[in-house]
Amino acid sequence: MANGRALETAPLLDILRWAVDAFNTRVTFTTGFGADRCVPIDLIGRHHLLIDVFTLDTNFLFPETYSLWSQLEDRYGPTIRGARLAFTVEEQNRVHGHELWTGNPNRCRNIRKMIPLTAERSRFDAWIAATRRDQTLHRVNALAVEWDQEFDLSKVNPLVRWTKREVWSHLLTHEVPYNPLYGRGLSSFKCYPCTNVPTVSGTAWTTAPRTSVVYTPLSPRWKR
**Residue ranges per structural domain of the chain:** 4-182
Q: How confident is the model at residue 196 (pLDDT cuts 50, 70, 90)?
A: confident
Measured CA to CA in angstroms, residue 182 lies from 42, 51, 123 at distances of 19, 27, 32
The predicted pLDDT at position 204 comes to 33
Radius of gyration for the chain, computed over Cα atoms and rounded to the nearest angstrom: 18
β-strand partners of 30: 54
* CB of 189 closer than 8 Å to CB of 62: yes
Query: Which residues are bridge partners to 90 per DSSP?
Result: none
C-alpha span between 189 and 195 (Å, rounded) = 8
- pTM for the model stands at 0.82
Q: What would the pLDDT profile of 77-134 be if each residue is shown by its tens digit? A: 878 999 878 788 898 899 888 988 888 889 888 888 888 888 899 999 999 999 999 9
Average confidence (pLDDT) over 195-207 = 49
Three-state DSSP class for 102? helix
- Give whole-number Cα distances, 223 to 87, 96, 196, in Å: 36, 40, 21
Taking residues 2-16, what's their average pLDDT?
84
Residues 27-69: pLDDT tens digits? 999 999 999 999 999 999 999 999 999 999 988 899 999 999 9
Longest CA–CA span in the chain (Å) reads 55
* Pick from 70-79, 99-108, 183-192: least confident: 183-192
- In a 3-state reduction of DSSP, which class is residue 86? coil
4-182: in CATH 3.40.50.620: yes
Count of Cβ atoms closer than 10 Å to residue 76 Cβ: 19
Single-letter amino acid code for the residue at 17 = R
Q: According to the model, what pLDDT value does residue 42 have?
A: 97
CB atoms within 10 A of CB 27: 23
Residue 159's alpha-carbon distances to 7, 35, 142, in angstroms, are 11, 12, 10
